[in-house]
Structures are given as C-alpha cells and as structure tokens.
Amino acid sequence: MDINQMLPTILQKNNIARIENRKLLIGDRRRYPFALEFVRCSTVGQIGDALKAMVTQGGGPLQVALTTMQFVARQIALNEQEDSLRTFSDASQILSNSRPTNTTMARTLATLLGQIVLWYTCESVKESYNSDLVEFVDQLIETVEKRFDEDYLKMGKLGSTLIDDGDSILTTCFAEHSLFLSLIEAKKEGKEVQLFVPETRPYYQGSRLTAPSLVEIGVKGSVITDTTGVSLMREKKITKYMTAADLVTMDGTVVNKVGTLANAIGASYYKIPYTPFAMSPDATKEGVEDIVIEIRDGKEILKNSSVDTLDALYLSFDIVESSLVDKIVTPKGIFKPDEIKENFGR
Amino acid sequence: MDINQMLPTILQKNNIARIENRKLLIGDRRRYPFALEFVRCSTVGQIGDALKAMVTQGGGPLQVALTTMQFVARQIALNEQEDSLRTFSDASQILSNSRPTNTTMARTLATLLGQIVLWYTCESVKESYNSDLVEFVDQLIETVEKRFDEDYLKMGKLGSTLIDDGDSILTTCFAEHSLFLSLIEAKKEGKEVQLFVPETRPYYQGSRLTAPSLVEIGVKGSVITDTTGVSLMREKKITKYMTAADLVTMDGTVVNKVGTLANAIGASYYKIPYTPFAMSPDATKEGVEDIVIEIRDGKEILKNSSVDTLDALYLSFDIVESSLVDKIVTPKGIFKPDEIKENFGR
C-alpha cells in the first residue's frame, strides 16, 4: 500500500523533499497553506540552512536527510563533489547539527553511513551494483523509506485502537504520519472524532499544517489558541491528548514542541490520558540529562508579535516527565513509559 | 500623588480615553506599540462598537465608560441628545453589554446612574450646581476616578509586599495599574525583579502592552510564547505567577484572560503561588454558575494565524477554580480565596 495516496498534501513525500534539475527541493511549510512552494537548494550547506530556518520541521528533516544522501550521490556522479565516504559524512554532520533535539534524523543518517562505508571498503558491494553509486544509495534509501512507511502504518493501526467513536482529541503542533494515519484508520472503522488544534506559536504548525490537513482527510478540526486546550479540558470537552514526540528517552521522558508540557499537566489535572507517538525511542539517551534542547532566537517570536527591540526568549521544545504520560504508541506496540527501556534499550 | 506621572504611556488616562473637539477618543491598543493612535467616536453606539472591537481592553473599558458619561453630559448640553436620565441609562446599557465578562464597568455605571438620578429628581442637587449638568457629571466622575486611583495605589503597595528581591514573575495578558504600581513600588524599595511575559494570543496584549510598558518603568521583561511559562516553571525559573482578574466571585473563583488557567494549573503542579489582583470582587456573583463568559468569533484567531476558511474557536476568558489561587490582592487587603465573601459580600 502506498501511504502517499492516503496522506494529506503536506505529508506526501514529493511535497516534503525531492530532487529536480540538479537541485534538492524542500516543501516550504512556512508558506503553507497560503501556497505550496519549494525552497531550492544547490548545496548541502543550503539544505542545512533551510532546516535551521524551519522551511520544514517535525518529521520533515528526516525525509530531507534521506533525499540529501541521494542528492550527494548524484553530485558525486556528476563530479561536483569528491567521491569519498567523507563527502557523505560531512553532509550527514551538517544535517544532524541543523536541528539537534529530534535525534531520529541523526540516528538514521548514522545507520546509513554505516552502510555507505561498505561501498568504499568492500569491492563485492561495488561490483554488485556495477559501480553505480546512485543506484546503490537509491536502493539504501528506498529500503529505509519502506521500513518507515511500514512503521507509520503500524503506528496508525495501533493509534486507531486508542481512538473511540465520539472522541474529542487535543493535539499540539503537527503530529504528522502517525496521528494522521490513526485518524484515517479510525475513520475507516466508522469512528467519528473531532480535533482541537492549538495554532502553535510562533510558526503556527497547528493552524497552518494540522488544521488544513484535517480538512483534507475529512476529520473535523477547530483551531484554538495555544492555552485553550486546558480551558476546554475544564469544560469536559477533551477526551484524549495526542501528540507526536520529537524524542523519547529510555526512562519514558517525552520531548515535543513547546506547549506539550502545559497541556500534559492540564491533562493530568483533569485526568485525561496523554498519548504521544514515537517512531524510535532513542536507546542512546537514558533520561533528561542526555537531552539536547535546541535554543532558538527569541526574535522569532517577535516577528509576528511586537516590536523587535524587546527582549524575548524562545524555548522551542518541552520536556515532559514520564509521570505525565499515559502510554506511548511505537511501531512495536503501545507501551507504558516504564516499558520503553525493555523494548528499545540496547 | 498623580498616578498618571508614574504609569507607563498606555495606562495614562489621556491615552486610554479623552474628549476632544466633541469626539470621544479611545487609545487604540491594537496599534500599540507600533503607533499611539486613537479611535474617534461621535456617538455612544460607536463607543460600544469600539469596545467590542477590542480598541481597548482589560481596565480600559472602565475608563472609557467614565469618560462616556462626561461625553453624554456634553452632548445633552449641546442639545445633541435628549436631556433625560434615559439618555444616560441607554448609554450605560450599550457600554455594559459590549464586554460582558468584566463586570467592574457595569457595576460602576450602575452606581453612577444611581447618582445621576438625583439630578433629574432632586431640585436641590440641580440648584447646588447652578443647573450645570456637565459640571455635576464631571465632579461625579472625578470622585470615582480619585477613588480608583487610591485603590490602585493601595493595591500597588500591597502587591509590592508580595514581591521579593530576585523574583522572576510570570504574568498573563496586561495586568495594568495594580501589577505595574506593585512593580514600581518594589523597584523603589530596591528590589530587582524580572518578568516573563506571554505574548497573549490572539491580540498580543503581553508582547504589545505589557512588555513595552515594562521597558518604560525600567523592569526587565522577556516575551515568551503563551505556553512557555509552564516550561520555565519546570526549569525553576519562575518564583511567582501574578495576573489581573477580570472578575472574582464571592467563592474566590477568578476569571481572567484565556491562558490564565493553564498557567495556574502549572503553578499549582510546580508549587508556585498564583496571586491575582482584583479591584472589586463582585458581590452579585456567588460562583461559577453566575459568570457570563464572552464568546468571541473564532475568526479573530485565524486573522493572524492561517487561512480563514478553517473552523476556529476563541474562548477569550478562563475560569480558575479557587483551589488554584494562593492569595488575591484587593484594595482592602490581601486575602485567601475563602476570605473574599466576608470582606466583599453584601
């Protein structure tokens, strides 16, 4: 099953990243839904800058990273870059450093490098591809993408089991494939649900990505301001709180977009279950001390908000202690936070 | 002491409302700090529409209401309106209905009408002002304003006793005179404090009114997104949570700008005291059942946020249960929520 046909516009692979005319194109989520535009990158440096500038976010950088490896292979084939492992590892470094908190991209790139090293050290590998580097890398990426798609579908199936007919679900930011596939599956099963979508300042991923995507899949969604979720909980209008997770550590600590903590505490106070979706809990991180939180420029808030002479502080991510988390949906199953280590630990 | 000289620009009486060339001018808080502009109203209907349209908010409508009574007296003197109590009561009705949640304006207008009725029914009152309605109303308003100024100063003195050197205070929206006079007093006493200011979507009262006003009084303030206060509590960077209160009922329930509840629950979770400032707890309202929450158009959120074809819900106010409130600062003293009724009840 091609999940691209099921997903809303902004989550379709071609709209996240693709190669066209020797350029890597990144779907510009800052412009959506006003326009479907692409930032065109000629170098890996430009790709890293685009990720830093939030051209895409959430799971977007992972897809960009995979496509970048294909882009680098093509640059090497065209003699635009040196034919060496170093070229790939430099690219990987630039990408991994661009957004430090969500480590799925960095870990996926590390795994890919471990396979690309075979190309440069193992003659039989090169021979089996007739020395066609592009074909070798394309096949690597295709395998990875296929596995991710399978994982997304599994999480969608699992997530849908947590959704009941009549649910009124609060989310935060843009929970992408896992939540959307859960909603699509729930809808297929005849469950009627509605979502409340915090706009998610300062980049409005909620009102600009989540809300229009809900319209596309035919699920009712209402945009609210970022603090209104807790107010709706007080009015008993929220039955579930579900988000993506940029990072889950082995002790079940969840890292996600700023705003997730305030809602998780509200959910705990009003006894509403909080369920994040995590594609790959990070076995290299035990707990809070190992988390690297990206500090972004406070001026990013002021751009829409007020005069730029003011002081501002932009914490882009929240750390949510495991005691506030009910269950975590992963491709391997739905786990309590204290079951993460036994299922994902090294 | 003229408190106008102490207060930041946007809180100075002339910048909230004034009469000029037969028009009532309302300081346009939607344009501040980009510009200091005024909306000019020729009729009470226009004034009511301006209040509905959020030209001013918080304590602003109260000052506008007082000035409107002076404006109406002048219209009567110029034979532009009928010389009757009805003219004043109609004006009062229009103003009170324009923003239903904060009842201080409505209650103040009711008291004023109770005094204006004397003008129309008691010859000796009329005689003592030589039949000069404008002078009579001006004196009434001057008396009310003087009492409010005294109350603001008292709350500032009391509020400052709750502020310690080194405090890091979270607020919400624009807490106006009471918080600013508390900060000014604390500063005078040599206490150094800093504030974290949620921008307060969708009208940005935090980043547009509070933050620039803090700059004016020389207190450090940092703009944050609306959910970041709770994240900073987790990092032990917040020592107090202080807001205004649009309404306090006799059982100590607090109504204030949406966002107040999420922060109050966060404060309770992290054991940080929440102290609202309330000029006049409402003796006509026992508790939650008596509160009228203004429902505003969801499209007000989308204007800055996304395409306007989406569904949106704008809860403008939060109801905060008394168990989440530490103390309430009033002109009569600082009280626990369960002490409100004995001090303000009928």
- pLDDT tens for each residue of B293-303: 888 999 999 99
Contacts of B312 in chain A (CB under 8 A): 207, 222-224
- By Cβ distance, the residue of A222, A262, A302 closest to B262 is A262
Q: Assess whether pLDDT exceeds 70 at residue A341.
A: yes
Contacts of B196 in chain A (CB under 8 A): 313
Q: Is A323 on the interface with B (CB under 8 A)?
A: no
pLDDT score at B40: 98
d(CA B330, CA B105): 17
Query: Residue B2: pLDDT band by 50, 70, 90 thresholds?
Result: confident
Q: Cβ A33–B306 below 8 Å, yes or no?
A: yes
Q: Is B299 on the interface with A (CB under 8 A)?
A: no
Q: Cβ A265–B266 below 8 Å, yes or no?
A: yes
Cβ atoms of A59 and A111 closer than 8 Å = no
**Segment A167-176, tens digit of pLDDT:** 999 999 999 9
Q: What are phi and psi of A200, to 5 degrees?
A: 70, 80
Contacts of B215 in chain A (CB under 8 A): 310
Alpha-carbon gap: B93 to the closest alpha carbon of chain A (Å): 30
Residue A235, Cβ neighbours under 10 Å: how many? 11
pLDDT score at A3: 87
- By Cβ distance, the residue of A223, A231, A259 closest to B310 is A223
Q: Assess whether pLDDT exceeds 90 at residue A231.
A: yes
Which pTM was predicted?
Answer: 0.96
**CA B146, B148, B151: angle at the middle one, nearest 5?**
110
Cα distances (Å, whole numbers) of residue B290 to A68, B61, B99, B114: 60, 21, 16, 23
- By Cβ distance, the residue of B201, B202, B207 closest to A310 is B207
Q: Cβ A211–B315 below 8 Å, yes or no?
A: no
Q: Is A234 on the interface with B (CB under 8 A)?
A: yes
**Segment B129-180, tens digit of pLDDT:** 999 999 999 999 999 999 999 999 999 999 999 999 999 999 999 999 999 9
Interface of B with A in 155-214 (CB under 8 A): 196, 199, 201-202, 204, 207-208, 211-212
Q: Assess whether pLDDT exceeds 90 at residue B346.
A: no
**Topology (CATH) of B3-150:** Four Helix Bundle (Hemerythrin (Met), subunit A) (1.20.120)
Q: Assess whether pLDDT exceeds 70 at residue A193.
A: yes
Residue A193, Cβ neighbours under 10 Å: how many? 20
Give the three-class secondary structure for A210.
helix
Q: Assess whether pLDDT exceeds 80 at residue A1.
A: no
Region A259-283: what's the mean pLDDT? Answer: 97
Q: Cβ A258–B227 below 8 Å, yes or no?
A: yes
- By Cβ distance, the residue of A204, A305, A315 closest to B306 is A204
Question: How high does pLDDT run on average in chain A?
Answer: 96
pLDDT score at A86: 97
Residue A203, Cβ neighbours under 10 Å: how many? 21
Contacts of B307 in chain A (CB under 8 A): 33-34, 212
CATH 3.40.50.2000 assigned to A162-344: no
**Tokens found for residue A112:** 């890919």
d(CA B97, CA B93): 6
What is the CA B19 to chain-centroid distance, rounded? 20
d(CA A16, CA A39): 10
**Bridge-based pairing state of the strands B17-20 and A314-315:** unpaired
Q: Assess whether pLDDT exceeds 80 at residue B18.
A: yes
Query: Residue A85: pLDDT band by 50, 70, 90 thresholds?
Result: very high
**Segment A118-166, tens digit of pLDDT:** 999 999 999 999 999 999 999 999 999 999 999 999 999 999 999 999 9
Residue of A207, A210, A225 to mutate for B, most B C-beta atoms under 10 A: A225
Alpha-carbon gap: B114 to the closest alpha carbon of chain A (Å): 37
Q: Assess whether pLDDT exceeds 80 at residue A103.
A: yes
**Segment A13-60, tens digit of pLDDT:** 999 999 999 999 999 999 999 999 999 999 999 999 999 999 999 999
Interface of A with B in 17-56 (CB under 8 A): 33-34
Query: Residue B3: pLDDT band by 50, 70, 90 thresholds?
Result: confident
State the burial class of residue A21 (Cβ atoms within 10 Å of its Cβ: 0-12, 13-18, 19+): exposed
DSSP class per residue in B71-97? HHHHHHHTTSS-SSHHHHHHHHHHHHH
pLDDT score at A295: 85
Query: Residue B344: pLDDT band by 50, 70, 90 thresholds?
Result: very high
Nearest-Cα residue of chain A relative to residue B256? A231
pLDDT score at A122: 93
- By Cβ distance, the residue of B222, B229, B312 closest to A223 is B312
- By Cβ distance, the residue of A212, A220, A314 closest to B307 is A212
Q: Cβ B234–A301 below 8 Å, yes or no?
A: no
Any bridge partners for residue B24, and if so which?
B19, B41
Q: Is B232 on the interface with A (CB under 8 A)?
A: yes
Residue A47, Cβ neighbours under 10 Å: how many? 27
pLDDT score at B1: 64
Q: Cβ B234–A262 below 8 Å, yes or no?
A: no
Q: Is A101 on the interface with B (CB under 8 A)?
A: no
Q: Domain locations in chain A? A: 3-150, 162-344
pLDDT score at B79: 96
Q: Is A144 on the interface with B (CB under 8 A)?
A: no
CATH number of B157-344: 3.40.50.10470
Contacts of A204 in chain B (CB under 8 A): 305-306
pLDDT score at A102: 87
pLDDT score at B295: 85
Alpha-carbon gap: A341 to the closest alpha carbon of chain B (Å): 24
Cβ atoms of A211 and A223 closer than 8 Å = yes
Q: Is B234 on the interface with A (CB under 8 A)?
A: yes
Q: Cβ A265–B261 below 8 Å, yes or no?
A: no
Alpha-carbon gap: B91 to the closest alpha carbon of chain A (Å): 33
Q: Is B293 on the interface with A (CB under 8 A)?
A: no
